[in-house]
Amino acid sequence: MPELNAIQKKILEEVADLHKVPEGAYNIRSDSKSVGRRSTENIEITPKTDVSGLDIRIRPGTKNESVHIPVILTESGLKETVYNDFYIGEGADVLIVAGCGIDNCGSQDSEHDGIHRFFVERGASVRYVEKHYGQGDGRGKRILNPVTEVTLEEGASMEMEMVQIKGVDDTERKTVAALGADAKLVVRERLMTHGAQRAISAYDVQLNGKGASADVVSRSVAKDESFQRFDAKITGNAECRGHTECDSIIMDRGKILAVPALEANDVDAALVHEAAIGKIAGAQLIKLMTLGLTEREAEEQIVNGFLS
């Protein structure tokens, strides 16, 4: 592991589960600088020359390898935009772990905007994990605005785990995907807001090829006076299957707006959406409290189980 201080190490554990130098390829970015980078025989990481960011190229047929590209911000007032492009070769099967953590103990807002583009070739498979985290006792906000663009060629698949559980004051998350024939996209989003935090998630999935499928599911909890908006649109342009679901718990004075949308442009497009928003059931609380938990402890147990 590159030489990092205690705060940087803590953030790396939160966003990338890293306690030591990861196996495989990696790039660790801290306060707008690379503090460690390694390519492998099958995975090449090179910095862009025109904008801040990376090109990550994965050779066709690469199996059981990983790429870690976490980002750390610890300088109050730092704002950056980073462009990372991933080129996944035909038949590859890889894990990509991203994510950003901000420690802001100052009075100025800190912001990271990450634009990730994935070009997944025929028959390739990607598991993508993106975690966002914030900490620090300063008055400045912790702001994260990720954009993810996905192109899946014939028979390609991508599984996305998008997590934001703590400490991010403001976020606008945008995901756009285009799927070819027999391509598959699975998204699992987990989100919690508290205080006066604001979180907006928007998905726009285009099912363009015969046999394409998408399953986009978001689970969220809004506490205190926080606000969430979930926009999910799936468009079926061929014989395909699409499903989107928003399942949310609202607490205190929180506000949640769910806007699912379906567009069918082919008679054989099968599209479904579901949305449910509600408070924690009293019976659940009572059951846990009879086991000796306080009401607050019971709520935490239920929320943790819901978001796990």
Per residue in 109-166, pLDDT tens? 999 999 999 999 999 999 999 999 999 999 999 999 999 999 999 999 999 999 998 8
Vertex 215: Cα angle to 130 and 154 (nearest 5):
90
pTM of the full structure = 0.94
**Per-residue pLDDT at 293:** 87
H-helix or E-strand containing 298?
A: helix 295-307
Task: Average the pLDDT over 86-114 and give the result.
Answer: 96
The backbone region for 287, taken as left when phi is positive above 0, alpha when psi lies in -120 to 50, beta otherwise, is alpha
The 10 Å CB-count burial string (b at 16+, else e) for 211-223 is bbbbbbbbbbbbb
- Distance in angstroms (rounded) separating the CA atoms of residues 143 and 152: 29
Q: Are 228 and 193 in contact (CB under 8 A)?
A: yes
Distance CA 202, CA 7 (A): 31
Beta strands in 237-302 (DSSP E): 240-250, 255-264, 269-278
Q: Pull the structure tokens for residue 24.
A: 């495989």
Distance of CA 130 to the CA centre of its chain: 4
Alpha carbon separation from 229 to 61, 101, 134 (Å, rounded): 39, 22, 20
Cα–Cα distance for residue pair 192/222, rounded to 1 Å: 6
Of 140-149, 209-218, 291-300, least confident by mean pLDDT is 291-300
**Residue 7: partners with Cβ closer than 8 Å, 6 or more residues away:** 74, 103
Of 130, 125, 126, 120, the closest CA to residue 85 belongs to: 120
Answer yes or no: is pLDDT of 1 > 60: no
* First and final C-alpha spacing in the chain: 29
What is the mean pLDDT of the segment spanning 260-279?
Answer: 95
H/E element holding 14? helix 6-16
Give the whole-angstrom CA distance, residue 266 versus residue 294: 53
Decide: helix, strand or coil at residue 137. coil
Helix (H, G, I), strand (E, B) or coil at 93: strand
